[in-house]
Each structure stands twice: as C-alpha cells, then as structure tokens.
Structure 1
C-alpha cells in the first residue's frame, strides 16, 4: 500500500495519507493495521509522523472526498485518538489525492468539497495557487444549516471552572472544527506576549493538566488528544495572541481547526476569546491571530437568528502544503495489488 506524506505549513508534523478503501472498515481491525504501520515507520526513521488521514472519493454527490482523521498518540504504536479532526491533514489529503489521481490536478480557482467523517464537518477548500509540489489554500468551514452560537458551547456556558492541582481555573469549552478549552492568559498570571511565547516547561505542564481536567469533566479519556487547549490574550495591533498545546509538544502555530474554533468563540459573549477580542479592539468576526510561529487570518460569519446569532461559515486564508513524497508501506503491502503499488511508487 502506498503512503503519501504531505506537510501543511504550520502543522506540528507531516501527515501520512492512506487510501481508506484499502483498509479495514471496523475500528479494531483498522487500528491493528495502523499500529503495525506505525512500528514500521518508526523503524525507517519516520516515527515523528503522528497524523494519519484516511481518504477516499465520496459517494455523496455534494462532496469530492470523504476524510477521516486518526491522531497517533505518543504513548506507543497502539495508542490512537479517533475523536477529532485536523484541518492541516485535510489539506494534506487533498494534495495527496491529486497526486494519486483520486482528484484532478490542482489548479487555481478549483474547489474541493470534503466530508469529515469524524464529526460531520463540511469543508470547502479553494486552491489559490498550485505548483508541482506545493499548493496554497483558503479553507471554508461551512455549516449545512446556520447553527445557534450557544450550541457550540460544550457545557452550555461561556465559562466553566475546572479544578487543577487544587486550584480553580475558568475555561471556555467551545467546539467548532475541534473541541477546544480556551484559557485567558490572565488566569495563568500572564500579562505579556513575551511570557506567553517563552519556552516555559512549567506553563506547558500546567496546560497539559488543564487539558486532562477538562477531558475528565467531559467524560473523555484524559490521555487522549481532545479537547485541545490554548491560551489567549489581546496583543498589539488589534490581534489576538494564542499559544496552543499539540501532541506531544507545543503547537508551532495554531491548528486550522483551532483558528476556526477561536473565531467562533470570539462571537460568543463571555468566552475567553471574546474578552481578548474586545480588549484588542476586535468587534467583528475578522480575527488576526499571532502565534510564536507566525500569523493567521480567520473570519467567522454569523447572521441574526430567531433567538440568537447563528454561525454560517468560517474562512481561514493562506495555508500552504508541500508534498514530501510517496512510498510503499511494507506491512500494508497485502492491501493493494503489487503491480499498482509498483506503478504508484514511481509516479512522481
């Protein structure tokens, strides 16, 4: 079986993209296969790849691709989390699908419609630029029907208190693209972006403990990857500064789903991102995000609903992918005819 490795810029690691049609349909058998593949990847020096995307042409007439994300966890080759999604891996899947022939060659103006099997999200990715081994995307998180903003709150409240090491910490639990626990920098004693972006292992450990506490509060596995956790504060120039934790270290920027979730949270009164946005002078849905690794631009569009504002779509602009290569994955060789594997491995 051929694996395609694509790096979405700003992601913690590349994504391994696999053809879902060649893999088992049941979770137990699927994860058994992926565990064997992870062991092999580690043996050949690719153990740092912790994002796996399973993709296939969609049978639904409104979508081009069906996509499922698998987060490999650092606890060991058999540890995975199937709960959430990954926007960077969606882009990797599109690039790999164009490379393998499941999609036409990417070209400017082309739109690819993706159904996220993990959570039912509808994603439309518009190609702004296409080269031989790289592409630039604008990503739209589209609501099938406008969603009341209150329905994005995992606990029904803009702020929820969790107890961490005997201390109570207010967090905003918001789910859009992925579930996130947003923490105000002030709640952690941080007042400067320099401190937020410092290489501070104590801050990292504290955020990991907050993430674990919120997972237990939601009834989710404490050692999983979700909910994600991020600290937010107002920054200079009308921006919002964000520091997020990924698997297993700091996120170098912010996840695509994190940017989308942040933009949605900015529109919900009382959340930590809403407070940070007001302090930064951001009064609408257009948010400039600054991280330790760069900047992002995201816009959340809402409309007036019957009882409350409703989310219609979110757009994240200017995300690039680079295709790193394709190669046969030896322990999965039996899942694809030998002659097809041989041809695909030399297709580039």
Structure 2
C-alpha cells in the first residue's frame, strides 16, 4: 500500500477514529508482496458462493480507490478451540477482469497481520515482548505460534513457529511420495522437488533453468519468470489443482555459500519481493529431506540442527527446522522464522460489507 500510505501513521481512505470499531482493517508484514485486508469471519456469509460475492464487492471497492495492490485477505475470529487464541482462514485474490479467490493455501505474513488486528480489536491482550499467540489455520489445520519480540506503537516484530498437531515424518511432506518429480514443459522435461509444509511448494535448481549466478537469478528476466510460471502450472495439473490458481507455489534455488540458498519466488501475479513466510518454512523443512533439491544444495544446512539462511532480492531471513529421530523415520517438530515485522495501516469502512456487519458493530459504526 505504498502509494496510499506514505506516512507511518496515516490511515487508509475512508478510515475513521476508533479502529477497533471497524469491520475491516489493513496491516502489512515486511517482505510480503501485498498488505492484508483483515475481516471478521463471523460477520461474513458461511457459504463459499455468498462469501465470494461479499469478497468480490470488497475488492471492487478497493480497486475503485486505487488499492488493487491488496491481494491477500484474512478471515479471523476468536478461536472456539480451547488450545488456540485465534482462528484464521486465508483467501488469495486472483486478479482479473472479475476477481477470483483461492481458499486452498495459507499465508504466514497474513497470519501475523491478523494477530496485530485481533489485538487492536481487543480479542487478544495488548501485544508485548514474550507474549505468544496461538493461531489455528483452518485452511490446512496448521498450528502457528506467533511470539512477540518487540511491539512499539503501530509496529510489532515476531518470531513465528509452524507446527502440526502431530509431528509428521519428513517423507510425509512429499505430496507424491517422491523426492524428485519429472514435470513436462514446453522446453522439455525438468526434475523438481515438491514439498508441502506451511504451503505446497515446487523447488527447482536455478542452474536447470540456465541461471549461472545470483545476479542473474535476481535480475528481471522475463524468460525466467515464464519458465517458473510454466513449471508451477505443470505442477498444479500434476497435483489435480487448477492451473491458474495460486497453489502450489514455486521457487528457483541457487547455492550462495555454505548453509545459504539464494531464492527467487513467484507471487500473485508477479515476482515475490522476498519469499513467503510459508515458503521459508517449507524450504527449511525441505532441506532436511534427503534427496530433495533443497537438501542437495543447502550444504551444512541439510544436517539436523543447522539453520538455513535464505537470501532473496529483498533481503535475507533464516529458517530453523527442528527434526527428531533418525532416518528414515525422522519427524519434523517445528520450523521457526525470526524477525518478521508487521505495520498496522489503519481501519477501512467498506460500504459494501455493511450488510454483513454484526448488529453490535453497526451500532458502534
């Protein structure tokens, strides 16, 4: 939302005072390709057809006001599960003449945006260092613990821990049971690793796409973009998913020193400026799976207990995957990613969503 929110404390168009009273809020996580529009799930239709209609009205409203760069939506509610604080459902906007929506995956950056908004709504205590918020991802049943490192005014920094209800065997993270999968493209066949942790991802060695060094990987190559897009579409068809959907994600990898990988990833509908938080989680887990492309390129980070440094055009991050047991029955305990910052952008009064507002919220509005 850079062109709309130039100042740190500026609100989105249509915002009013008392942000906790509004139905919709906007927050942005560092490294994300888009801010997140956070909505109260309990105030929206439950049926997917009616829900898509309400979300389409909301995204049309955003587009009319020059906010069409918001392509992530989070639907949140105080969790009804006694072990969690917040229920979260992710919606990826698929831009087009008529916007579409993909409900299949998750988004770690939007999870953090949701935690910040939930605290502003009073659903959570005021965020403070060492405070942990437990989030249940209803898209894929992931469990995410968001640990607050720092909270100052409208900025909060987290360490994020991804885990499952039961520790999965590493080989169960391979959707088709193979460490390497052959896919067909217009340029011939290519071998990739398909891994699902946080989100389903397709990892390909950048050298197999003719990329020679990191500068070339991070360059604005239309040919590389189209090659990765075609690989992603082929992997989607292979998995029985819509070719033009948002999942699986795709990323090209290149060694950049020991325990460091240079990564170029796609988002919707362009290059990702960094890598998705779920992408860092998935890549961190994939480096521990013997025989995969990430494992073969990661150097010492392929060993248990060694974190992976991920370098992207927009900066670097670290993924630490905790692995238990010995091969081949090793299990993934969790994956942690530190230093993820979220900025609260403000409250937005979207007229088209007023019919879905709860009566108590309407009285406040």
Per-residue deviation at 1:155? 1.0
In structure 2, which of residues 244, 260, 283 is the aligned counterpart of residue 223 of structure 1? Answer: 244
Cα deviation code 1:102-156 (max 9, x no counterpart): 1111111100000000000000010000111010000001222221111000110
Residues 151 and 282 (structure 1 numbering): CA distance in 2 closer, same or farther, change over 3 Å? closer
In structure 2, what is the equivalent of residue 18 of structure 1?
39
Q: CA RMSD in A?
A: 1.6
Residues 306 and 236 (structure 1 numbering): CA distance in 2 closer, same or farther, change over 3 Å? closer
In structure 1, what is the equivalent of residue 51 of structure 2?
30
In structure 2, which of residues 283, 289, 297 is the aligned counterpart of residue 276 of structure 1? Answer: 297
The question of whether the paired residues in 2 share the 8 Å contact of 1:328 and 1:341 is answered with no
TM-score, length basis structure 2: 0.91
1:109 aligns with 2:134: no
SS in 2 for 1:187: helix
TM-score, length basis structure 1: 0.95
Cα deviation code 1:205-243 (max 9, x no counterpart): 111011000000111000000000000111035411110
The question of whether the paired residues in 1 share the 8 Å contact of 2:287 and 2:301 is answered with no
Per-residue deviation at 1:42? 0.5
Matches of 1:64 and 1:337 in 2, distance apart? 21
Q: For 1:1-348, list aligned pairs within 5 A.
A: 2-236=23-257, 238-278=259-299, 283-284=303-304, 285-304=306-325, 307-336=328-357, 340-341=361-362, 343=364
Runs of 5+ unmatched residues, structure 2: 1-21
Residues 306 and 167 (structure 1 numbering): CA distance in 2 closer, same or farther, change over 3 Å? closer
SS in 2 for 1:146: coil
Runs of 4+ in structure 1 displaced over 6 angstroms?
none
Residues 112 and 339 (structure 1 numbering): CA distance in 2 closer, same or farther, change over 3 Å? closer
Residues 332 and 307 (structure 1 numbering): CA distance in 2 closer, same or farther, change over 3 Å? same
> Is the deviation greater in 333-342 or in 264-273?
333-342
SS in 2 for 1:33: helix
Matches of 1:89 and 1:227 in 2, distance apart? 17
SS in 2 for 1:186: helix
Residues 96 and 202 (structure 1 numbering): CA distance in 2 closer, same or farther, change over 3 Å? same
Runs of 5+ unmatched residues, structure 1: none
Matches of 2:77 and 2:91 in 1, distance apart? 15
Per-residue deviation at 1:281? 6.4
SS in 1 for 2:225: helix
Per-residue deviation at 1:332? 0.6
Per-residue deviation at 1:19? 0.3
The question of whether the paired residues in 1 share the 8 Å contact of 2:296 and 2:302 is answered with no
Cα deviation code 1:81-113 (max 9, x no counterpart): 111000000000000111111111111110000
Matches of 1:287 and 1:237 in 2, distance apart? 9
Per-residue deviation at 1:30? 0.6
The question of whether the paired residues in 2 share the 8 Å contact of 1:38 and 1:77 is answered with no
Matches of 1:24 and 1:178 in 2, distance apart? 25
Matches of 1:122 and 1:281 in 2, distance apart? 24
> Is the deviation greater in 178-187 or in 296-305?
296-305
Matches of 2:253 and 2:152 in 1, distance apart? 35
The question of whether the paired residues in 2 share the 8 Å contact of 1:31 and 1:78 is answered with no
Q: Which has the higher strand share?
A: 1
